[in-house]
Structure 1
Amino acid sequence: RYDEAEPLYRQALEMRKRLLGEQHPDVATSLNNLAGLYRSQGRYEEAEPLYRQVLEMRKRLLGEQHPSVATSLNNLAGLYESQGRYDQAEPLLRQALEMRKRLLGEQHPDVAQSLNNLAGLYQSQGRYDEAEPLIQEALEMYKRLHGEQHPSVATSLSSLALLYQSQGRYDEAEPLYQEALEMTKRLHGEQHPDVATSLNNLALLYQSQGRYEEAEPLYRQALEMRKRLHGEQHPSVATSLSSLALLYKDQGRYEEAEPLYRQALEMRKRL
């Protein structure tokens, strides 16, 4: 509900500036929140100067070597990755990773997150051989730090499964997706956005293999869950509609696919 979120973020930002002054860590946090909102909406040109401002402010206020500076580097790199600016994103992700290792130690959840972020960048570039060991390292770190049953473990399992799927290693991907789905259900309950995402991931794997009859009920389940949890007008609902439409298109069911594509298109225009 972006239209409702933005004025609240702006109000908090202005209030913090008045109460704390222009140069304060909480002002940087408010700027970061607003930039994150813009990035979620694809308003990259508005998000970038805010992320840069936050980074410079945190360096001045907290010093060059601080966990919040590493977080800002990650955020700016994530924005660049969303735009396909991989050459600019990679050095920032590497800098954040090394900073977190120095400041927080080799075994820390933020280090695992940085490993996953760098792996995701490599995967986007098709650098699978470089991505895999990083995802594996992050997965093992999360298990050591949080235990075998934790949302971060489930997320890492899905990331590794997606890597295998991208390489056509479907037999290795499927059990990981299944494990992530069951873990997410145990941790969050049957009705949760992460469950819908796991259902969608597994359906996409089946679709990639031409297992359309297995994929369709999963896509439908994810779509209905997202409608219940987020409402009819939400980006994740549009994503599910597009996924189901693509399945129908792959099967030659064009008359069923077209209205779903149109519905998703209109929804994204409104968003």
Structure 2
Amino acid sequence: MNFELTFEQLQGKLKKVLDPSRFRFILILYPNTNMIDEIKSYISNTYPESLVTNLDLQNKSYQDISTELYKNNEGFVYINDFEELLDNPELYNGFNQRRDKIASHNINLICFISLYQKEELFTKSLNVIPDLWEFKDTVLELQKDEKTNQLIDINVTDSMSYSSIGGTNTKDKKVKLENLLKELDEVNNDELRLNILKQVAMIYDDLGESKLSLEYYLKELELKEKLNASEDQLAVSYNNIALAYKDLGYIDEALKYQFKTLHIRENSLTKNDIDLALSYSNLSIIYEGNNDLEKALNYQIKSLEIREKNLEENHPDLANSYGILAMIYQGMGKLEQAIQYQKKDLKILEKVLGNKHPSLARSYSNISAIYHDIGELEKALVYQLKALHIREEILGEVHPDVANSYNNISLLYRDKKECTKAKEFLYKGINILKQLNFNHPHLITCTDNLKQIESQIKKQKNAGYKKKGKYCKDM
């Protein structure tokens, strides 16, 4: 196989992953440097109208390169010296903290990494740019024959993790968590300690361990305050702490920290900044969780207005706003609006995330809940089973989201009067929550649901022949 033939294959792979009309973070692992020029030349010839920015990071701060980075919209931004980014705190802190602002531009951020430094630089990236690293879309790995120097293989890996910290499933995340906790005991550098604390908090969040996630986010904030971190850096911590408190049901604390974030961002950002949209959206989530639906709706509409001005039509943040609006309208009993927005959310996520992602599972679960309220139980069951399949594969069998799916499926079978299946699925959910030692509202809810199902079964057993199937069709 000669180089020209295999380079044509590479062009075919590139064509599938490149899209200058929306943000993409692409890593290209190359075996020799001449391939970088070949790839850039192909991109320029294929997208002649697109702006190209070559970022020179040598001895630069993020402020030095930000103007050049932000002026590109609907084009390609190349970073050849990726290692320089990872070695310079003035660069990697900027890229990490301004991740959402970078992602609001319609650019393909393409980083070239030597194939022989893959393991070293990937590990380093997880440590120093964990926020930006979450947004990577594709890793394209070029391999060559050492004897002939010819390109012999092209591996393409699409990112599909809920956060890329620790891997794509619960088992890998637990292994990563164990290693991070060991590093935390040994590390002397405060900047590295900050990054490790955040990674630990994020993994605990992915694992559904909200109390431990909050504990480490608070430790991260304490260290930031000790180091006199900027208000922008503090705002990120306040936001994460707010969401952790919300997950634990402490709404007053959640609002306190989220308003701290909002105060900083409203005073430092323009009114259409994408980070401000994030604060409005998170306030909406907290109010929705407290059933304060009018406030939730107002803040989510403010967020959506900014996102629609700044983001392409298939951006995941737009899907996020649509999904939250769907939940709000569902809570208001406006099911027609709810289903419209949930379909918008689902359409984007199916397009950009592939078929195995926890966010897609959440969307399936949410549209199932709306169909349940409408009374279309069969449709609702199909979507809830889809959610369960993804969650079991990605999150593992012992995770609160899996327990939630079992509970939702149980309620559908209950309303279909299939009491045996309803009880079977509910017990599965309860057993998971007990394994997790969850003293949690979900466990109380599941226990209450079990009492309702057992009451239906008892009524059916006591009913006469003429009332067969009135409470349970399967008895």
What is the TM-score of this pair, normalised by structure 1?
0.82
Summarize deviations over 1:164-201 as a string: whole Å, max 9, x none: 10111112212222222223333334444332221111
**Structure 2 vs 1, CA of residues 28 and 145 (structure 1 numbering), >3 Å: closer, same or farther?**
same
Secondary structure of 2:227 counterpart? helix
1:151/1:12 Cα in 2 relative to 1: closer, same or farther (>3 Å)?
closer
Question: For residues 121 and 5 of structure 1, what CA distance do their matches in structure 2 show?
Answer: 26
Q: Does 1:231 align with 2:437?
A: yes
Task: Report the CA distance between 1:202 and its aligned residue.
Answer: 0.6
1:180 partner SS:
helix
CA distance in 1, matches of 2:296, 2:401: 27
Q: What amino acid does structure 2 have at the position aligned with 1:80?
A: Y
Report matched runs for 1:126-137 at 5 Å.
126-137=333-344
One-letter amino acid of the counterpart of residue 215, structure 1: A
Q: Output the CA distance in 2 between the equivalents of 1:65 and 1:44.
A: 27
Q: SS state of the match for residue 153, structure 1?
A: helix
SS of equivalent to 2:308 = helix
Q: Following the alignment from structure 1 to structure 2, what is the Cα–Cα distance between the partners of residues 191 and 97?
A: 34
Compared with structure 1, are the counterparts of its residues 94 and 194 closer, same or farther at alpha carbon in structure 2 (3 Å cutoff)? same
Matching residue within 15, 22, 30 for 2:237: 30
Task: Find the counterpart in structure 2 of residue 49 from structure 1.
Answer: 256
Q: Mapping of 1:184-263 within 5 angstroms?
A: 184-228=391-435, 230-231=436-437, 233-252=439-458
Give the match for residue 110 of structure 1.
Answer: 317
Change (3 A) 1:250 1:111: same
CA distance in 2, matches of 1:2, 1:97: 27
* Counterpart AA for 2:407: N
| AA partner of residue 33 (structure 1) | N
In structure 2, the CA distance between the partners of 1:232 and 1:150, relative to structure 1 (3 Å rule), is closer
Higher mean alpha-carbon deviation, 239-248 vs 108-117, is at: 239-248
1:14 corresponding residue in structure 2: 222
Specify the code of the residue in structure 1 equivalent to 2:457: Q
Q: Aligned equivalents of 1:189 and 1:4: distance in 2?
A: 19
Matches of 1:164 and 1:133 in 2, distance apart?
12
Identity across aligned pairs (percent)? 28
1:75 paired residue number? 282
Which structure is larger by alpha-carbon Rg, 1 or 2? Answer: 2
CA spacing shift, 1:109–1:5, aligned 2, 3 Å: closer
1:24 touches 1:61 (CA, 8 Å); kept in 2? Answer: no
> For 1:44-83, what per-residue CA distance to the aligned partner results, in whole angstroms no more than 9, with x for missing partners?
2333232112112022234332222111101111222223
Which residue identity is paired with 1:14? E
1:99 and 2:306 matched: yes
Given that residues 65 and 99 in structure 1 are in contact (C-alpha distance below 8 angstroms), is that contact kept between their aligned partners in structure 2?
yes
Change (3 A) 1:151 1:232: closer
Taking the aligned partners of 1:215 and 1:33, their CA distance within structure 2 comes to 36
Tell me which amino acid in the other structure corresponds to 2:443.
V
Match of 2:53 in 1: none
| Cα distance change, pair 54–153 in 1 and its aligned pair in 2 (3 A) | same
Q: Residue 355 of structure 2: SS of its match in structure 1? A: coil
Question: Quick one: distance in 2 between partners of 1:222 and 1:91?
Answer: 34
Work out whether 1:162 is the aligned partner of 2:336: no
Amino acid at match of 1:241: T
Give the counterpart letter for 2:448 in structure 1. S
Aligned residues: 251
What 5-or-longer segments of structure 1 have no aligned partner? 254-271
Q: 1:9·1:33 contact (CA, 8 Å) conserved in 2?
A: yes
Secondary structure of 1:210 counterpart: coil
Q: RMSD of aligned C-alpha atoms?
A: 2.4
Asked if 2 retains the 8 angstrom alpha-carbon contact of 1:13 and 1:27, the reply is yes
Measure the CA separation in 1 of the matches of 2:403 and 2:248.
21
Q: In structure 1, what is the equivalent of residue 349 of structure 2?
A: 142
Stretches of structure 2 that go unaligned for 5 or more consecutive residues are 1-208, 460-475
Aligned to 1:175: 382
Give the Cα–Cα distance (whole angstroms) in 2 for the partners of residues 189 and 18 of structure 1.
38
2:330, 2:338 within 8 Å by CA — same for their partners in 1? yes
Q: Offset of 1:153 from its aligned partner?
A: 2.2
Shift of 1:100: 1.6
2:426, 2:450 within 8 Å by CA — same for their partners in 1?
Answer: yes
Residues in 2 aligned to 1:7 and 1:191: alpha-carbon distance in whole angstroms:
22
Preserved contact between residue 262 and residue 276 of structure 2 (Cα < 8 Å): yes
Q: Distance in 1 between matches of 2:389 and 2:210?
A: 31
Change (3 A) 1:173 1:58: same
Alpha-carbon spacing, 1:195–1:50, altered in 2? closer, same or farther (3 Å)? closer
Opposite residue 248 of structure 1, the aligned amino acid is E
Structure 1 residue 7 displacement after superposition: 5.6
Bigger strand share: 2
Q: With structure 2 as the length reference, what TM-score do the two structures score?
A: 0.49
Amino acid at match of 2:432: M
Shift of 1:219: 0.6
Aligned to 1:40: 247
